[in-house]
Amino acid sequence: MTQQQTAGPPAAGHADPAEEFLDRQTPLSRIRNILHRYPALSPAIVLLVAVVVFGLLNERFLRVENLSLITQQVSVVGTLAVAQTLIILTAGIDLSVGAVMILSSMVVAQLAVGSGTPAPLALLLGLVVGLAAGALNGFLVTRFKLPPFIVTLGTLNIFIAVTLLYSGGSTVRGSSMPGLLTWMGSTFPVGPVRISTGVVMMLLLYIAVAFILGKTAWGRHVYAVGDDKEAARLAGIPVNRVLMSVYLAAGAVLAVGAWIQIGRTNAASPNAGVDLNLDSITAVVIGGTSLFGGRGSIWGSLLGALIVGVFRNGLSLAGLDVLYQTLAVGVLIILAVSIDQWIRKVKS
């Protein structure tokens, strides 16, 4: 057989090399291979099952008002999850996403309300804050070679402190802000559903990032860097530049998140959103993106954010205590990571 292979050109030999290539498969390994190929598939199934189950438990769950409410509840965490996904894909983690968003939102609100800066300029400066925070994280990760976990644990505290120092701990109400700042909270009807501008903005971010990750060389480099940094470097990818750009992009996304947060809560509060860090990581992990980097899809993170939203909403409609929601989210995280580990064991 080996003789045949070496002697004849590949097309001539009927001893199919593809057979050797695909290996023997059991039904279970076939499922695993499919899940491995489409990382967003398992969260999609979970979301579908959750929606059906909660719909059966309480008929109010599937009403359009409730579904529209869930999307609005998800819009902030969903946006943070975009930034978090980018960073986790590079095998990093960002504990500071919530803090950066709050800092940016406070800067925007204080500038617009306190010092009378025009709203577009205030938003632009909020973007600068997001980019600066991303640049700081990226700088520390690439230049000082510190683990992203430690870097962002540090910057998380720094940003929280800076936010409190800057704002003096006071909340800026939405009613005192220019309309543009709270625009993300306004809703418009689409048929029977009311959609908020913030949700549309979040979806636009997902579409843009999905396009960039899937269709551009930069996106492929992000995956390659997360997959195997050294391999990426040896393949000629400027690893540090890719990492830096990922942290900058995340910072920009967080600034947009700040805008959505102001609209959603109709306020800018320095004390909001500290737990959003963990929620964003939860969404990404449940969405099938591997914490070890290089594997996952941005749509999975949207599904993950929706799953968390659906569970919280559904469980509370089912009349369960908030504690059980937290419990359920905890179980989800562990399940998601276990599935990820199992998928990663794809035959080598």
Partner 1 sequence: MTATEFQPAKTEVRQPILQARNLVKTFGRVVGLDGVSLDLYPGEVLAIIGDNGAGKSTLIKCLTGAEVPDSGELKVSGQTVHFKRPQDARVHGIETVYQNLAVSPALDVASNLFLGREERVPGPLGKIFRVLDTKGMRRKAKEELTRLGISTLQDVTVPVENLSGGQRQAVAVARAAAFGSKVVVLDEPTAALGVRESNQVLQLVRDLRDRGLPVILISHNMPHVFDVADRIHIQRLGKCAATITPQSHSMTDAVAIMTGAATA
- Written as one letter, the residue type at 74 is V
Phi and psi angles of residue 172, each rounded to the nearest 5 degrees, phi first = -100, 125
Tokens of 100: 């950066």
- Decide: is 175 part of the binding site for partner 1 (CB under 8 A): no
- Decide: is 348 part of the binding site for partner 1 (CB under 8 A): yes
- Decide: is 236 part of the binding site for partner 1 (CB under 8 A): yes
Give the Cα separation of 318 and 283 in Å (integer).
22
CB of 90 to partner 1, least distance (A): 12
CA-nearest of 90, 127, 91 to 108 is: 127
CB of 293 to partner 1, least distance (A): 9
- 107 vs 237 by CB, closer to partner 1: 237
CB of 233 to partner 1, least distance (A): 7
What part of residues 237-266 is at the interface with partner 1 (CB under 8 A)? 237
Residue pointed to by tokens 């980018």: 86
Of the candidate residues 14, 24, 145, 347, the single one contacting partner 1 (CB under 8 A): 347
Q: By three-state DSSP, how is residue 261 classified?
A: helix
Give the Cα separation of 36 and 346 in Å (integer).
8
DSSP state of 26: -
CB of 228 to partner 1, least distance (A): 6
Of the candidate residues 173, 194, 220, 241, the single one contacting partner 1 (CB under 8 A): 220
CB of 212 to partner 1, least distance (A): 8
Burial class (CB in 10 A: 0-12, 13-18, 19+), 139: middle
CB of 21 to partner 1, least distance (A): 6
Provide the 10 A C-beta neighbour count for residue 231: 12
- Decide: is 325 part of the binding site for partner 1 (CB under 8 A): no
Stretch binding partner 1 (CB under 8 A), from 234-242, 244-252, 260-268, 327-335: 234-242
What part of residues 27-66 is at the interface with partner 1 (CB under 8 A)? 33, 36-37
CA-nearest of 229, 327, 311, 260 to 83 is: 260
Q: How far apart are the first and last CA of the chain?
A: 23
Q: By three-state DSSP, how is residue 274 classified?
A: coil
What part of residues 3-32 is at the interface with partner 1 (CB under 8 A)? 5-6, 9-10, 13, 17-18, 20-21
CB of 148 to partner 1, least distance (A): 19
DSSP state of 238: -
- Written as one letter, the residue type at 176 is S
Of the candidate residues 64, 234, 318, 322, the single one contacting partner 1 (CB under 8 A): 234
Provide the 10 A C-beta neighbour count for residue 232: 22
- Decide: is 207 part of the binding site for partner 1 (CB under 8 A): no
Number of residues that bind partner 1 (CB under 8 A): 37
CB of 287 to partner 1, least distance (A): 16
Q: Is the dihedral of CA 334, 212, 203, 181 positive or negative?
A: positive
Tokens of 247: 């942290």
Residue 193 bridge partners (DSSP):
190
- 78 vs 288 by CB, closer to partner 1: 288
CB of 66 to partner 1, least distance (A): 38
- Decide: is 168 part of the binding site for partner 1 (CB under 8 A): no
CA-nearest of 220, 221, 219, 251 to 138 is: 251
Of the candidate residues 294, 300, 304, 309, the single one contacting partner 1 (CB under 8 A): 294
- Decide: is 295 part of the binding site for partner 1 (CB under 8 A): yes
Residue ranges in contact with partner 1 by CB under 8 A: 2, 5-6, 9-10, 13, 17-18, 20-21, 33, 36-37, 211, 215-218, 220-221, 223-224, 227-228, 230-237, 294-295, 346-348
